[in-house]
Amino acid sequence: MALRPILVVGNPVLRQKAKRVSQFDRNLQRLIGDMIETMRAAPGVGLAGPQIGVPLRLAVIEVDETITIIINPEIVKRSGEVELDEGCLSVPGFWGKLHRSEKVTVKARNRDGREVRVSADGLLAQALQHEIDHLDGMLYIDRMPSLDDLQRSEPVRKREADARRQEPEPVE
């Protein structure tokens, strides 16, 4: 397995409509392995093919230590609406608020090519919708009412430095 570079906004591959997967072969298994490794290293909750420059309809998601692999996914049912905070590995350094369905049911193929259905709420529902958007060339910032509301997330290094400053001074 290998880490793949993650493309960032501005790269045209992120804006393409990805093509359906038709071969459930060894190359696909290797690609899925690379995607899981790349998602974990980032670290991120999900990663879609176009984000590593592979314009195919597949994504990997990891929520509560459970991996969900969706290939040629379709949302077949949705209900409710929630306002969520969201970010994306392809839009580093920012997050924003947007509305998504509260619950979704997704029909997809698993890594063996068998049809599966995933019904989810919470973070998994959010990730399923976010990753399926990637397959249609859409980013979460496209769903925000205004980009003026995009928030800058503090670099990790600064957050760590702040946390250290807040630690009590050692006595002696």
Contact set with Ni ion (CB under 5 A): 88
> Which is nearest to 129 in space by CA: 67, 120, 172?
120
DSSP state of 126: H
Catalytic residue among 74, 83, 102, 131: 131
Q: Is 131 a catalytic residue?
A: yes
Cis, peptide link before residue 43, omega less than 30° from 0: yes
DSSP state of 148: G
Q: Nearer Cβ to Ni ion, position 51 or 72?
A: 51
Give me the least distance between CB of 5 and Ni ion, in Å please. 15
| Exposure string for 100-136, b = 16+ CB within 10 A, e = fewer | bbbebbbebbebeeeebebebeeebbbbbbbbbbbbe
Give me the least distance between CB of 119 and Ni ion, in Å please. 22
Give me the least distance between CB of 140 and Ni ion, in Å please. 7
What residues does 106 pair with on adjacent strands? 75, 118
Quote the tokens at residue 61: 């998601």
Give me the least distance between CB of 134 and Ni ion, in Å please. 6
Active site residues: 131
